Structure 1
Amino acid sequence: MFKNSWAVGQPNKVLLRAVLIAMLFSIAACEPSDERRVEMAAIHEKQAKAYLNSGQYRAAVIEAQNVIQKAPSQAAGYILLAQTLNELGQYRNSLNVLEQAFAGSAGTVDTSDSDFYLTKIEALLGRGKFASALQILTQHGSAIPQQDALYARARALAGLGQLDEANETLRKLRGMAPDNIDAIVAQADVALLQDNNDAANGLLERITDIAPEHIDLRMLRAKMSIRDGDFASAEKQLSDALIQLPQADTLTPKKATILSALADVLVKQGRSAEALVYTRVLAEAFPGFEVAQEKYREAVTLFEKGKLDQAKIELEALLSEYPNFDNAAVLLAVIQFQQGDFEQAADQLNDSVDPELVHPETGRVHASFNQV
């Protein structure tokens, strides 16, 4: 009986083994060669750049991820994905992507790749990490084209409030390229920060001569009008800028800025119903944002009234739904600290606080925890 059973099963096992071997060969045959992977990565890279340049950010993200999948040891995919995230204002995610270029199978990025450093600097500037941006410029400035490096340095200095140094850097840049529109716009912005309206107006006139339809020209004029209380003029400039924005498949930071400013200008003119149109667009683009902000404001009110336990409950619920809400995390850590729960407060700060981005006093508390 056993002999017959074995005899019947033997051909089945042989057949199964043959099928498995055939499948393995089939899979191996379907797996693209390294050369083919490089070709496919190049195709995806070209498509990602085309999508990025045309404002099709969702498609650009997918294609950049395809580049990473096909060529994980090359920097191109990571840079493209980070550049796309920068365009969307997702600077923290951009920095995380660039960190991946140094980790795991990605290996080491070519230090002569200026695109990598410029993309990282842009993300740092967007995050408000101006000192870190300056540090990269100091360490890797030789890998970056001089004009790009000067422009980035000026923006970082301005972000740190070193306006005279920023102005001097921009003058140096314009000495090399007198009609560099980005440099002139930055100079005008610095002049406004210094309340130097005469200089700002002169620079705006220069922008008008070179690029009369430049969006930043309209935004700067709107900023000046708002400062002067001329809300009707600001509304016109912002409306024109909104119309002029290139098409995109999602809300960009610049468009969000214009919409927010327009809503504010309309409210100041007593036209709240019209402002609601723009605030709804923002609410749809950032679902839950207003709700989260309202919950945070309620927690702050409870905290200010000394109702720490209630504020703590509100903040914990808020963070469970929005774990990246840094302000809520900081306030929760402060409450934990006041209640004597030093270990939890330290963990909360270490997880959520970047000392470069917080109020000096919070940074001091954060540093004191790390010294314990």
Structure 2
Amino acid sequence: MYDPILDALRRGAVAEALTAAEALVAERPDDAQALRWLSTAQMQGGQHDAALATIDRAIALAPENADLHLARAGVLVGSRRNEDAQAALSQATVLDPNQFTAYVVQAQLALSRGEIAEAERLNRLAARVDPEHPRLAFVDAMVLFHNGNGEAALTVLAGAIQRSPDDIQLLHALGSVYLARGHLAFAEQTFRNILDKLPAATDITLLVASLVGRQGRPEEALEVLAPVMADAPVSSVGARSLAGRLHLQAGQLEEAAPLLQSALAGGVQDRALLSALLELWHRQGRRPEGAQALEACLAVSPKNPDLWLARLALEDVGSVEALEVSRRWAETVPDELRALEALLAALDHAGQHEEADVVTEQLIAAMPGHSLAQTRKVNRLIEKDPRAAVAHVESLLVRASGGESRALLLGWLGMAQDRAGLTADAVASWGERAALLQTQSLPLPLVGPAEQAWPALAESGDAGNGRPLFLWGAPGSGIERMVAVLVNARAALLSDRFGATPPKDGLQPFATVQRLLAGQVDPAQLVQDWRASLPARGAPGGNVIDWLVWWDNTLLQALRPQLPQGHLLVVLRDPRDMLLEWLAWGAPSMMAIPSVDVAGAWLAAALEHLAVLLEQQAYPATVIRIDGIEHDSRRLAAALGEALGGAQLPTPPQAGGSGFESGHWRHYAQALAGPFAALTPVAVRLGYPET
């Protein structure tokens, strides 16, 4: 809806942009972004006072929006100049190329239009006239900020403020960049400095109060806001919205209610207010009153998606009322994708799948690449007509661009081919997907010898240092199902090895195996480092369950003498099911599949380590076989509880997850004959039938 305004601004059609912006604001007076672009159009049209008043209206509606404060800083800088209009500024520089002010204001206007390179060029021209002027820092900093270099922008602004400490515009820009980067305490202090100089600046008061509240000090924030709330003429609906949210944050529901309701009645309909009202109505048990209030708003603003989403949030998921609201939304705004998405979800919850199919087609017609709708269509076709699903996904692949979308579609195609009995084709589709994802995956670890000359297993002694459990399952084992059980039971599980910041101990890098074998790692130091890392990982003691990415018997060089009280807990399935599961569904470890043959050989070698460990009882270990119970949450919880010494673990709602049934590998006996031949010997050693 903003595109016509932005397009006109880019083309320099100021009158056209102004007309479009005024029309949008008339239609959506509570839309802070619409007001922002109206302010920009007014600024470029030379209406500086109006531009400042408009951006202040936007900030009153959304005082926490950093972009609006950045825009206001630009308006402030530009509105203090005599050369108001772009044409006049251009003429000024033609008549006198040394006019510093003209260049700076032109750079400001270019910045407001999003023309970053032009703003940079004009600022360089200004710098030739007066290279030491602190006002140059504003454009320089904003260019850096828009290019993603926020820290450099802060450095530039801080340096300029040292030379011009009372420059309100530079202080405003500094605070706004701090705010945009999430440095709330620094932003608060910077805006407090401005408030000390301009105590009557209502917009700054609102912002400081908001920042204090966001840092968990709502009572203090209300004290900051008190002078504004006491002055009726300046107590805007935005201020009432903020005050209501702060009272709600402080748990003062009775004080919050009239303020939030007054803001809603005054035209504020942003997500922050609606979210606060939803919380208030739920906590006070006043959902019917909330529904009435939102219905009144919808009567005036029937196309506001946030109002409809809030209205839906007051109904129970899957209820008849939720379906009725979704239908009304889709009928009122038939081209709103979110309305169709809500209706689709409500229809599926109600079991009205045929009508949901129709809505699915509407979504796809409106957006052919709609992931939710396409996923549902493929799943429905797989249920009803797998070969039709194959044909549909193949048609999508023809139009797919980019590796990520192709990988997703190849996964769907493999599933459709599996259901259609086209097993060789399914293997080919999943193999192609694995090749596309290889650069995003971890390389397969090098596997050490399964049998080695290990040091003696030390005495376990007492449990003073804890009795840790090491949880491991090779790719395709279904280890994530057991993790879901442990998470649901709130067990002392460490899963950070699979996150963005894994521990840096010796049990994490694949290279540990080779380094242990080469004598480059002291086994005692390896265990000591593991222990030392536990507190930082959220485990003050050693009674933890550490979920490992990999296992190799080479670790016994360290664990047997240094951690004899440890215990390895392994999740296992038929290795051939594991390979198929890994190929079709992936694995938490995100290990690459260079080819199906290579993956099969690697999995056989990794599982040989387990077979040797069990046969030789080389380390305390328990194997949990989940064959046949993969999708049964209750039985999974019972199996894990038994392995943990008879613990009674609660049943998680969805521990079963996706995946094939036990024994599904037999459908692929021909398509995966080579890899299965490599896996069968170790499968037999682990207790599985040969065929």
Query: Normalising TM by the smaller chain, what interval?
Result: 0.3 to 0.5
TM-score of the pair, normalised by structure 1:
0.47
Larger radius of gyration: 2
Q: Name the structure with the higher helix share.
A: 1
TM-score of the pair, normalised by structure 2:
0.28
